[in-house]
Structure 1
Amino acid sequence: MRARHRTIPGVSMRRCWRRAGMNRRSEEFERVVSGGDPFGILAPLSVTELRALVRALARESERASGPLEAAAGLAATFERWRAREFPPRERVIARIAERSGKSPELLGESLDALLQPFTADALYAFARRIRGRLSGVGAFVMPANVPGAGLHELVGAIIAGASALIKVSSREPFFFTEFAASLDEIAPALGARAKAVVFARENFKLAAAMLESSDFAVVLGADETLSGLHCPRPFFGFGSRASGAFVTQSALEKSSPETVAALARDLTLFEQQGCLSPHHIFLECADPAAAARFGESMAEALSTLAQRLGPARLSFEAACAIRRVRESARWQRLGGRSVMLWEGSAMAWTVVMDPDARFRLSPGHRTVTITPVASLGVFEQRLAPMRGKLEAFSVTAGSPSADLAARLLEGLGVTWICEPGSMQSPPLEWRHGGGAFLDFVTGATR
């Protein structure tokens, strides 16, 4: 029986389908694969077709060149993507802006931060860490909240020799489909090993077939998403995580505008939607007046940044969540608590200074809590609710307390500690989620 196909947002997959033995000659197929729609994708609509695609990718993995050759192809691709006038990048930004309401300027600067670590030197250095070729096909399930989230894992697997079947979200199908298409153009041998598909997450048969027929799986998403999946293969789940910042007393005393501006940028990029975006800033000080001055500076920095990187169009749910934060701060202040609130117009940004707050999750969209802590012991107590749920922390350098804070954070499971301004750009060897997948890719645990 002839299989049926439909076009949905994605990327052309002529090569993998042909090698899978599925030569379609329908008018619809030819329109999609010829590039008539820059986001056309020929999506497998049956379990049989998806399994055939996985087999085609497995054959490409068997033919894979060495890690250094893969690094060279990726370096050439990332060099093109870093250019703001690169057409695939421009298309991705335009389509995400249209669908999500995020400003093109914000998306452009966010992608700059995402792509920053993927330099030629870094890619070659990572390739030299590979201890043995990783063969087979990895199933990659990518999230919708941050364009490009999962890129570290995908690049590591490709360098090690694996192929990748990338399941993109229907809410954000653009980045990885265009990235895979550009690989096909710039480094065809790598493009043959990275193909993007999109199907509804409610399609449990396709999801199960994808996980069962692949050799390993990488899934990024909410904890409830991960808990509902079953995978008989090596499985690497990256669930809900949050990040924060710690400003030392010496940095506060310097009152550096650069530090405040860097923190404001960290929490603005990607509209504070990803696991690397800071939710809560802790200040090493016992002086409420100093904390208030920092809050005022942060408000000014966010206001200035909003003029250059316009805020997103808010959903009803996001607007309600931000309103709750603001009203809670107002009522607490009316009740006599030493809580302070700074707020931008149209909910563009929100700063709350709460001297008694434990780590507080933000609703996103440039909403941050600031809390002074008199000692590292108090700092550790304030982080207690988030033990095992913290991914990254920026720590201002230049004092003994910075080193002590970094060791404390490492003990709490934080995997990326950096200076302000670098939170969205972890290195290729980032031990995301604890490092199990990094060890798997490099061969340390294979």
Structure 2
Amino acid sequence: MREKLLESFRFALEATHPYRLTRQALPEAPPTHVLALGKAAFPMLEAVSEAYGELPGLGVTRYGHLEPGARLPGVELLEAGHPVPDKRSLLAGERVLEFVGRLSPTDHLLVLISGGGSALVSAPWGVSGEEKQALSRALLASGADIHEVNAVRKHLSRLKGGRLAAATRARVTGLLLSDVPGDDPSVIASGPTVPDPSTFAEALEVLERYGVESPAREHLERGARGELPETPKPGDPVFGRVENRLVGAARHLLEAARAYWEGQGYRVLVLSDRFVGEARELARFHAAMVQSIRETHRPVEPPVVLLSGGEAGVTVRGTGKGGRNQEFLLWLAYFLGDRGVWAMACDSDGIDGNTEAAGAVIHPGPLSQEQLDTGGSGSRLEAKQHLANNDAYGFFKAHGGLVITGPTQNNLNDYRAIVVESSTSD
């Protein structure tokens, strides 16, 4: 079953590869310039290069997402930091502003946007690069969701929240791969080509809600008092020359996985492609669903594969490496106890949190009651200790189960698959 879980992940990633999704969505008429931002920048640019030939372009992606010696005709390729922007992110931000700023109204700029672009390309406004780095770390550890984090980012940037579109005179077509639950274009990579409905006041509220202290507060307070220009809002004339198209999302990943599992003869229930919240609470919900299916055959009879996507979150209280998918799985195993399941949870980009793993796989018997009683290796007691330290990675590294793919160049959020067998097979 482990191999089936791994194969389902590979199948879904291949079916929704950024090259494939971009290639089928390209405008018929060639653009004059191309800009790509995000973890999927290179395969998206490859699709453009194959379709149109050489174009003047710029691409920014995460470290490790370019093969050694990767080249595309006419395109400058840069790598930068993620999830916290670094010096290369700052250089990339200035390079992007220079690139788009020199275009004329007769130019047509194709912008390829995927998750991660917000950190990879940084053009701070009102704060220094170091202050923005510190704030990014604090927000990521605070438990704030992506909408809240991006509301802050947009109001401290010269590129995010529609400001990229405002920084160029060219006509703009944006092709977006969504890595956010709900697929809100204004949230994907902080919406550089999309109207921003959030405000300075809302960004300030996020800092207050999570108790985050930062020198950025003064800048946000000035904006909330109306002393600074807001991000471009819906209806702003700048968007009269901008078209944005969503070309890939988590639902496409899950539908591809559904096709795989149905081909294996399983009934499939897609729970949702937009789960958000603490990994612990998402695991509690999924465990309750497993128990209900086993005991009452509701909402569906076993055997069945439960699929879900979205983005789990973790409020960091310990010193472990994480990541969120591994934490989800370990909580799932903990809640199910001596009646575990085969299950997988992985980040589709191949990097779960700050670890080298994409996620992990669990099998039905890792946390048995006997192990709980004895406190032995792989016991629930040990699992709870790792979870208290946000170190699910450490648990899986010690006991097996890690899934290591390397960067996939895909980025359609989390992939979760839980196999609930019939009672005779449990």
Shared fold per TM-score greater than 0.5: no
TM-score (ref. length: structure 2): 0.23
Judging by fraction of residues, say which structure has more helix. 1
TM-score (ref. length: structure 1): 0.22
